Structure 1
């Protein structure tokens, strides 16, 4: 009987925690803030209030709710305070919710802005048409296994030649297929996706658009993607 009570208490705590998390994400203004933070950078309260189109005092209340729910963290630097997603798990959750929510909208053609469809950030890795094409190329060429759960020996070799630095002690998934909400297919996530995106930025292959999730592919990036990946589409 004691074991049953312990299991029941544990189940109740889990259900309550899930309900609290869902409640924290249930407000449209808070959702707008979370979506803005999907660019992987830290934002000020003023910037987030502008994104959500609400007063600063109202934004403060929403931000406190998100912090207390462990969805975002607050960073202090001198007199300034910045907010960012609490981790890649939160980014993955928001991206998945976008995909599930998008399925409820029945337009014959996606209304996602063209710039975001081509290339954007998904917290700390690349998303959009180009990211999906790169993932499919990696899968076809045997860089990753079919379900995207790990890099193959060939994948490790190519990442090393490309200059991608993986974290051997990562506490997150080393590699995973992340559902792309606009393309309804997968792009590369996990530590491998983050490391690849870091390399692309370092090499100047990708340039972030300040204040947005949009990412521009540079001329050197287009050349690099043509060199390394057998893309069925056109990175131009």
Structure 2
């Protein structure tokens, strides 16, 4: 029998994500949150004892990592790659029966407009911004990977984002991640994370407590409008 290590690895990760309770716990962490086992059990609708068994499997599969602080043990996704895999699976999944057939992603209009996907932006704002940067020649797609042009390097530098390579990170500079609700790509990788951090620092977007939703502020509506060359509605939804 021929061994297929790559296929086995894919099957193992798919099996871990494929259980409904584990999938619910992973989905609760996709916004970059850190949660306790009890909180994840509540999200999945299972007992704390059952959640502990599932979390042990996710830890072994390197889909989550745990860190202890005081008396509590907190869990988070192991990497941005796990979040991107989950987002891709969400994009491939059919909507629940209660959804209109043509509509995908979250029901909440504000979350569809702008939200976090691990450490970068997702939703309509993020895909429109990515499309605008491509149209302006700041980045383009090559073999599924985002490539930043010379003009793009100048643009991001002027915007306050340092694109100088560092030896500490092996993460791709620019990735294009399929958006769950919009079914178009948004920016991920180092640039995606830096863009979210920079817009948060500028007050263009603010996090919504206990949610992945990002609220676009009036300053953000003006800033994104200038960046994209078209009006951006600051009213989420």
- Structure 1 residues 166-217: Cα deviation after superposition (integer angstroms, max 9, x where no partner): 3512311111211101101111111111111111112222211222211111
- Structure 1 residues 122-147: Cα deviation after superposition (integer angstroms, max 9, x where no partner): 11100000101101110111110244
Stretches of structure 1 that go unaligned for 5 or more consecutive residues are none
Alignment pair present for 1:109 and 2:103: yes
1:66 to 58, 61, 77: 58
The within-5 A match list for 1:1-236 is: 8-9=2-3, 11=4, 13-102=5-94, 107-110=101-104, 112=106, 113-147=108-142, 149-166=146-163, 168-169=165-166, 170-231=169-230, 234-236=233-235
Separation of aligned partners in 1, 2:231 and 2:134: 13
Distance 1:83 1:220, change over 3 A: same
Query: Does the 8 Å CA contact 1:166/1:195 hold for their aligned counterparts?
Result: no
Query: Does the 8 Å CA contact 1:134/1:231 hold for their aligned counterparts?
Result: no
Distance 1:231 1:190, change over 3 A: farther
Query: Does the 8 Å CA contact 1:133/1:231 hold for their aligned counterparts?
Result: no
**Greater percentage in helix:** 1
Query: Does the 8 Å CA contact 1:151/1:175 hold for their aligned counterparts?
Result: yes
Query: Does the 8 Å CA contact 1:167/1:191 hold for their aligned counterparts?
Result: no
State the Cα RMSD in Å: 2.1
Query: Does the 8 Å CA contact 1:117/1:182 hold for their aligned counterparts?
Result: yes
Separation of aligned partners in 2, 1:225 and 1:35: 28
Separation of aligned partners in 2, 1:167 and 1:58: 45
Q: Which runs of 4+ in 1 moved over 3 A?
A: 102-106, 231-236
TM-score (norm 2): 0.88
Separation of aligned partners in 2, 1:47 and 1:166: 37
TM-score (norm 1): 0.89
Stretches of structure 2 that go unaligned for 5 or more consecutive residues are none
Number of aligned pairs?
228
- Structure 1 residues 58-81: Cα deviation after superposition (integer angstroms, max 9, x where no partner): 111111111111100001112111
